[in-house]
Chain A
Amino acid sequence: MKGLLKQIGWSLVTLWLVSLITFSLLFLVPLLRPSKPGLTPADIMAQTIAGAHTDPETIANIKRDRGLDRPLYVQYGMFVRDALTNNLKSYRNSDFVFSAIARRFGNTLILALTGLSLYLIFAIPIGLFTASRAGSAIDRFTLFACVIAFSIPTFWLARLLQYYLGYRWGAFHVGGSASLANLPLPALTLGVGGAAYYARLLHANLRGVLSQDYIRAARARGLGEKKVLWNHALKNALIPLVAILGMDFASLLSGLIFTEKIFAWPGIGSLAIDSVQNQDTPMILGTVMFSALMVVLANIAVDIAYRIIDPRVRLD
């Protein structure tokens, strides 16, 4: 319990650092740009909002409204205050950042969870199959194929699935909205690479577990190979995967950015990439902060799960 509280405390520090990093990125780096003489950084920021050929009066209004001419630390304070009270407003429309994120969060969660379950649905049989035939030709070929599978770029795979499975063969919907019919292809896009990666990890873990004494003991008691694999080995081989799942959550979100964009799935990934392309600074900050929050929460959840399934582990 004490360890958990400590971890939550550190997570808050992490989130604060994340906000500091992203804020300074978005507000300091544009200052490096070569600009016309006579333009202050605040002018440049205001021009990003309204366009380069806006009249000076509008620029002055924007600067005053958004507090762009205030010192950076004041602006950071305003950003934190607005973020905590959901007053952070998009540069491009009248949307509040966290309202927009909340609207889309459900869609992203459904897609991410479906992708994650595909990881396990594919990885467990492949891992069990190859570990029980360790060293054979088919085992080596499957593991080789797995390396190829997690080397495929998400955005390319998404396009191919969309074209072949969706358009040419008409087996699935090609996307366009968040509906059940549109779910299979983006979920498969996310699932293939992850499943291959986890299959290899599970294979390695299983082989480690299978060489342990309690497995030999189970075999010696006359247990069938199937029972040894499913009842004894699998459970222990899956435990380390749980920890890695938490760490990989950030890379799952990265995959979501491309997948959501290509299948026009209205989630947080497509929101993030749209706002980057629109140079919608508050929205970028919001989506980055929110994904960091999700990663932090996923890690805490994994820690709790870890304590429950494996009481030997005392994380500090």
Chain B
Amino acid sequence: MATASVTFSESSLPPRADGFVRQLLRHRLAQVGLVIIGLLIGVALFTLVADKIDPQFKMHLDPNKPILGGISELGQPKAPGQGFFLGADTLGRDVWTRTLYGTRISLIVAFCAMLTAVSIGTTIGLIGGYFGGWVDIALTRVTEAVLCLPTALLAITLLVVLPAEGFGQRLFNLLLAIGLVTWTGIARAVRGQVLSLKEQEFIEAARAVGCSHTRIIFVHLLPNVLPTVIVLATLATAHNILLEAGLSYLGLGMEPGVPSWGGMINEGQPYIIAAPWITLVPGCAIVIAVAGFNLLGQALQETIEPRP
């Protein structure tokens, strides 16, 4: 849903980078989006060093520490308040701490999968659009074929068949599965732009003075498609957070002990009647994170291509 096509004409090119940044920072949606993204990155970095500042902090994650007493005497997880800011889960772990730790996996996966998709999509779009002919036809067909497949189903299938042992392998699988199914929108948009760019005089001039294909693609075409790619990359990051959460929700993400938002919702949903906070809190975290990237993406799009 996030990868809508972006049309982009030469006349609406941002005048200069610093003017563009100033314009973006004045945009209300961009402000909200940037604050949210900043907070998320801050939280993710904080969890990396949190247990060094306060050893008690990470212990909230540990189900084998009865001192914390997340489970009441009746065997129920404690509700928000009672020493647990946003309640405890069924193993007595602090939901708030786990949600903070979940930011890390979410951001890493979403960002790296976005980079994977952007590299594949931009390369295919540039090559197809620039060289044209049979290369273009073949690449367009492959793009269309992948575009036809429902992203979630394809990613699920990939994760089921890939070997999944250990933290690193599972992380890599997630990046690969999400990256391999989401590049199509970027490829399409880049190809469309290259098709119109390569008819312009500056490309003709570059060819006339004897620039190599590689130089034309990387020095002359790539910078011109970059604004579109940045918009789509921001929106793709939002989409990737959703997809990662969905895959973790199905139990295809990280290992059960590793805190991830989708996984927390999966663990919490059987107890939604008795302890709704286990499901509610990570869900809200997903909505905030996805909204942050979507808001920035929308603002970028409107700044690059202003409305009439």
A binds B: yes
The winner among A14, A154, A155 for most chain B CB atoms within 10 A is A155
Q: Please determine whether A250 and B279 come into contact, CB atoms closer than 8 angstroms.
A: no
Once the chains are docked, how many angstroms separate the CA of A33 from the CA of B145? Answer: 26
Q: Please determine whether B151 and A147 come into contact, CB atoms closer than 8 angstroms.
A: no
Q: Please determine whether A13 and B158 come into contact, CB atoms closer than 8 angstroms.
A: no
Instruction: List A contacts of B157 (CB < 8 A).
Output: 22, 25-26, 276, 284, 288
Once the chains are docked, how many angstroms separate the CA of A150 from the CA of B2? Answer: 9
Instruction: List A contacts of B294 (CB < 8 A).
Output: 147, 150-151
Q: Considering only CB atoms and an 8 Å cut-off, how many residues of chain B contact the other chain? A: 50
Instruction: List A contacts of B273 (CB < 8 A).
Output: 163, 167
Contact (A156, B283) CB under 8 Å given A144-B29, A147-B291 = yes
> Which single residue of chain A is at the shortest CB-CB distance from B145?
A17
| A38 interfacial contact with B, CB 8 Å | no
A193 to chain B, nearest CB (A): 7
Contact (A163, B142) CB under 8 Å given A25-B157, A150-B1 = no
Q: Please determine whether B1 and A29 come into contact, CB atoms closer than 8 angstroms.
A: no
| A61 interfacial contact with B, CB 8 Å | no
| B300 interfacial contact with A, CB 8 Å | no
Q: Please determine whether B163 and A148 come into contact, CB atoms closer than 8 angstroms.
A: no
Once the chains are docked, how many angstroms separate the CA of A200 from the CA of B32? Answer: 18
Instruction: List A contacts of B291 (CB < 8 A).
Output: 147-148, 151
Instruction: List A contacts of B49 (CB < 8 A).
Output: none
Instruction: List A contacts of B142 (CB < 8 A).
Output: 17
Of B242, B272, B295, the contact of A147 (CB 8 Å cutoff):
B295
| B144 interfacial contact with A, CB 8 Å | yes
The 28 sampled A-B contact pairs (Cβ below 8 Å) are A10-B144, A14-B145, A15-B148, A18-B148, A26-B157, A144-B295, A147-B298, A150-B294, A151-B242, A151-B287, A153-B246, A153-B283, A156-B245, A156-B279, A156-B283, A194-B1, A197-B1, A204-B307, A207-B308, A208-B307, A254-B152, A257-B152, A257-B156, A273-B153, A276-B157, A279-B160, A288-B153, A296-B148
Known: A152-B283, A276-B156, A288-B154. 13 other contacts (CB 8 A): A21-B146, A26-B161, A30-B161, A148-B287, A150-B1, A152-B286, A153-B262, A156-B279, A156-B283, A247-B147, A248-B1, A288-B153, A291-B153
Chain A interfacial positions (CB closer than 8 Å to B):
10, 13-15, 17-18, 21-22, 25-26, 29-30, 32-34, 140, 144, 147-148, 150-156, 159-160, 163, 167, 193-194, 197, 200-201, 204, 207-208, 211, 244, 247-248, 250-251, 253-255, 257-258, 272-273, 276-277, 279, 284, 287-288, 291-292, 295-296
